[in-house]
């Protein structure tokens, strides 16, 4: 069955993005999450923190996020790499916290190579602008992050099925993440009509995880 990932936690107001409250809400409802990781010295010693923008201090540490996630059954974490050269620090924290249900994505190609070399769970990416996925045939690449920046849907179900048939996972960026709210429910209905909502190894990332879950599981009463 397709998995639903919240985007920067399940936030209700923009100020809640990437906060403990948003992550706890997401995990408590059974959703994994996408979030952003960066290195920081804002609070003293070098560390990995959860932050979309340049850290200014007071951000959640990566280790704290993993501990919160473990308290809620270790849901899937999609870790958006916001700076190069983080793999050794990330690997150290993941190992020390014993967390394996994750994947790294959006690393630069040189950093993607570094993640693969370290046997970390690494996704390549596709979009309208990236029609060939870097390192796709490398067995160390576990999946594909599939983005969609422009109106409309550039890919079809056959592409997703080919990726899954190749033994890789796939995560789809829902249109709402790019502000195209009019496309959101038609996109979810397409996943249902194509049967992709029943496929294992597939996930969708959205700011509205509860709505997505209702439609994708056929429990939508609206």
| pLDDT at position 57 | 84
Count of domains observed in the chain: 1
Rounded Cα gap, residues 51 and 38, in angstroms: 6
For 46-94, the pLDDT digits (tens) are 889 999 988 888 899 999 999 999 999 999 999 999 999 999 999 999 9
- Residue 42 vs residue 94, higher pLDDT: 94
Report, as an integer, the average pLDDT of 98-126.
96
pLDDT grade, residue 168 (50/70/90)? very high
Domain extent, residue 169, equals 3-216
Distances (CA, A) of 44 to 19, 47, 66: 20, 8, 21
Cα 186 to Cα 154: distance, rounded to the nearest angstrom: 14
Q: How high is the mean pLDDT of the chain? A: 95
Q: How confident is the model at residue 139 (pLDDT cuts 50, 70, 90)?
A: very high
Report the share of the chain in percent with pLDDT over 90.
91
Tokens at residue 11, please? 């936030």
Give CA separation, 134 vs 108, 149, 166, 168, 196, in Å.
Answer: 10, 18, 15, 14, 24
What is the model's pLDDT at position 186? 97
Residue 178 lies in a domain: yes
Work out the average pLDDT over 164-177: 98
Question: Residue 21 to residues 11, 42, 47, 57: CA-CA distances in angstroms?
Answer: 8, 22, 21, 18
CATH number at residue 212: 3.20.20.190
Considering the domain boundaries, does residue 221 fall inside one? no
CB–CB of 210/177 below 8 Å? no
Residue 127 is predicted with a pLDDT of 98
Identify whether 149 is part of a domain.
yes
- In a domain, residue 222? The reply is no
Mean pLDDT score, 9-34: 97
Q: Is 25 part of a structural domain of the chain?
A: yes
Q: What is the mean pLDDT of residues 160-188?
A: 98
Residue 176: band (very low, low, confident or very high) from pLDDT cuts 50, 70, 90: very high
In a domain, 153, yes or no: yes
Instruction: Answer yes or no: are the C-beta atoms of 83 and 46 closer than 8 Å.
Output: no
Predicted confidence band at 220 (pLDDT cuts at 50, 70, 90)?
A: low
Q: Is residue 174 part of a domain?
A: yes
């Amino acid at each position: 069955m397709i998995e639903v990932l919240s985007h920067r936690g399940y936030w209700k107001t923009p100020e809640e993005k990437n906060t403990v409250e948003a992550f706890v809400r997401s995990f408590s409802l059974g959703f994994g999450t996408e979030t952003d990781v960066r290195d920081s010295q804002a609070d003293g010693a070098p560390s990995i923190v959860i932050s979309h923008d340049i850290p200014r201090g007071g951000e959640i540490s990566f280790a704290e996020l993993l501990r919160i996630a473990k308290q809620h059954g270790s849901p899937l974490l999609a870790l958006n790499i916001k700076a190069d050269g983080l793999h050794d620090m990330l690997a150290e924290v993941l190992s020390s916290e014993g967390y394996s249900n994750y994947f790294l994505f959006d690393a630069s190609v040189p950093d993607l190579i570094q993640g693969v070399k370290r046997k970390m769970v690494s996704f390549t990416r596709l979009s309208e602008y990236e029609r060939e996925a870097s390192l796709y045939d490398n067995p160390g690449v576990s999946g594909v992050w599939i983005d969609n920046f422009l109106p409309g849907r550039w890919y079809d179900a056959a592409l997703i099925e080919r990726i899954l048939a190749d033994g890789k996972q796939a995560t789809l960026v829902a249109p709402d993440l790019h502000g195209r709210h009019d496309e959101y429910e038609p996109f979810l209905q397409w996943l249902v009509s194509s049967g992709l909502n029943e496929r294992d190894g597939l996930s969708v990332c959205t700011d509205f995880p509860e709505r997505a879950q209702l439609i994708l599981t056929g429990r939508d009463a609206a």
